[in-house]
Structure 1
Amino acid sequence: MEPLFDFLGSYWWLVFPLSGVFAAWGSSWSRASERRHQRKLELYGLKHQGLAVEHARSGEIQRLLSAHDDVNRRWLAYELDAAKLIDYPMMTDVREPLTVAFLRAKREADALRPIDEDELPRDRLTEYRNAVNNFDVAFRVAESEAHRLKDTAFSGPERQRLTTARKLVTVAVDEAATPAERQTAYKRARRELDGLIVLPDATIASLEEKVARMLGAGSSTAQSRASSRATPAGP
C-alpha cells in the first residue's frame, strides 16, 4: 500500500486532468444512452404508427365492403321481386340513361371488389372507394327517379296491362291460391309484360322458383288431404 500512497503523493496533481477526462467520458456515455433511448422510442412510435395505419386501412376496407353489400341488397330488393319491378319499371329499363349509369357503376364496383383485403394495394383502395361511392350515388339517383316516374312513361292501355300483370304475379305466389290458379296467373303475367318490361334473368328465376315452391306446397297439401280422406275410419 505504501508504494501506492507514495505514487498518489507524488502525482496528486493528476487528479484534476483525470477528473475532467472522467467527467467528459461520463457525459459522453450519458448522451449515448440518451440517444439509444431516443432511437428506441422512435422505433416504438414508428412500429405502432404503422400498426395504427394498417388497422385504419383494414377498417376502411371493411366499411367499403359493407357499403357495397348494402347497395347490392337494395338492388336485389328490385331484381328478385317481379312485383316491385312492375311498380317501378325504370329500374330495369336500359333505355334510361340513369339506369344505364347505375348498372355501369355496379359493374365497376363489383370488378374492383377485393377477394382478399390484404392483397388490395393502396392505389386500388382509392379506386375501389371511388367506385363504391359512385355505385351508391348512381343507385340513389336512379331509384329516386324510378319512384318519381313510376309508370307515367307508358300509355293508358299499357298501364292497364302493368296493373293486370302486377295482380297476376301476386296470385302466382299466393299460398291461398290453388296450384292451377298460380300456374295460370304466372303464364298470363308473362304475356301481359311481353313488350312492356324486360325482366332480368335473375327476376324470372326468382319468380319461377317461388311459383314452383308454391305449386310443390299445394301439391303436398292436396296429397295430404286426399290421403286423409282415403284413410278408413276406425271401428
Structure 2
Amino acid sequence: MQEFWQFAGDYWWLIFPLMGVFGGAGKAWQRNARDRHQRRLEVLRAKAEIASAHAEARAARHRPFVSAAPVERPAAEQLHALFDAQDAVTARWLEYELDVAKLIAFPAMSDGRQPLTAAFLRAKKVADRLRPASAKVRIGREQLDEYRNAVTDYEVAFDVAERDARRLKDSTFTQAERKRLDTAKQLLTVAVDEAATPAERQLAYKRVREELDGLLSLSDGAIEVLEQKVALELPAGDDRG
C-alpha cells in the first residue's frame, strides 16, 4: 500500500490526463445509453403505429359503407324527434313543479332567484317560442337549426339546474326556515294519508300552506294536484296565492 502512495506521489501529474480519459469514457457511455433509449422509443412508436394501422384496417373491413353525402332526415321527422326531446325535459320539470313534496325537498327548482334555475327558465321560454306549431309546417334549415339548438340548451340547462338544486337542498334557508320546511314535510305526510280522518287531512293541508307561505311559491297546478291527493274541496273564497 505504501508503494502505491509513493507511486502516486511521484506521478501525480498523470491524474489529469487519466481524468480526461475516464471522463471521455463516461460521456461515451452516456451517449450510448441515450442512443439505446432513443432506439427503444422509436421501436415502441413504430410498433404502436403498426398496431394502429392494423386496427384501422380491421375496422375498415367491418365498417358499413357510407355515402359521401348522407341523406338528411326529412324536416318533419327531425321535428318529431325535437318535440319528443323538449317534451321529455318539460315532463321532468313538471315532476318538481307539480309535486309539493319534491319542491320542499329541492326548493331551488322553483326559485327563479337561483341563477341556474333562472337560466333554465329562460332556456325554456326560448325553446317554447321557437317551437313550430306542428311537424307538418314548412320550415327552413336555419329555423330548424335554431330550434334544435334551443332544445339542446333547454336540456342542458335543466340538467345543470337539477344537479344544483339537489346539491343545495335547503341550504339557502335559515335555520328557522329549514325548521318550517321540515314541519311542512311532516304535515304533508298526514295530509295525503288515507288512514287519517278528513278533518285531520284538511287541517294538515292548511298547516302545510301556512308553513310554506313566504318560503316557496306553489303554482296553481301544484295546489290542484295536492288537493286531489288530499281529496278535499277547499272552502269557497280560500286564497290560493
Which residue in 2 is equivalent to 1:193?
Answer: 212
Partners of 2:77 and 2:135 within 8 A in 1 = no
Kindly report the root-mean-square deviation, in angstroms, between the aligned alpha carbons of the 2 structures: 1.9
Which residue in 1 is equivalent to 2:177?
Answer: 158
Which of 122, 128, 150 is 1:110 aligned to?
Answer: 128
Partners of 1:79 and 1:85 within 8 A in 2 = yes
- Structure with more of its chain in helix, by fraction: 1
Which residue type is aligned with residue 215 of structure 2?
L
Which of 190, 212, 225 is 1:206 aligned to?
Answer: 225
For structure 2, the residue ranges without an aligned partner over 5 or more in a row are 1-68, 234-241
Partners of 1:92 and 1:200 within 8 A in 2 = no
Which residue type is aligned with residue 144 of structure 2?
L
How far apart, CA to CA, are the structure 1 residues paired with 2:230 and 2:91? Answer: 22
Q: CA deviation at 1:115?
A: 2.0
Q: CA deviation at 1:62?
A: 1.8
State the TM-score, normalized to the length of structure 2.
0.64
Which of 112, 133, 136 is 1:94 aligned to?
Answer: 112
Any idea what SS the aligned residue of 1:117 has?
Answer: coil
For structure 1, the residue ranges without an aligned partner over 5 or more in a row are 1-48, 217-235
After TM superposition, the structure 1 = structure 2 runs for residues 52-91 of structure 1, keeping only pairs within 5 Å, are 53=72, 55-91=73-109
Q: Give the total of aligned pairs.
A: 164
Q: CA deviation at 1:66?
A: 1.1
After TM superposition, the structure 1 = structure 2 runs for residues 31-50 of structure 1, keeping only pairs within 5 Å, are none
State the TM-score, normalized to the length of structure 1.
0.65
Q: CA deviation at 1:126?
A: 1.0
How far apart, CA to CA, are the structure 2 residues paired with 1:104 and 1:202? Answer: 20
Q: CA deviation at 1:116?
A: 1.9
How far apart, CA to CA, are the structure 2 residues paired with 1:68 and 1:117? Answer: 13
Q: CA deviation at 1:59?
A: 2.7
How far apart, CA to CA, are the structure 2 residues paired with 1:98 and 1:163? Answer: 24
Summarize deviations over 1:190-217 as a string: whole Å, max 9, x none: 11111111122221222123223xx48x
How far apart, CA to CA, are the structure 1 residues paired with 2:221 and 2:126? Answer: 19
How far apart, CA to CA, are the structure 2 residues paired with 1:186 and 1:61? Answer: 43
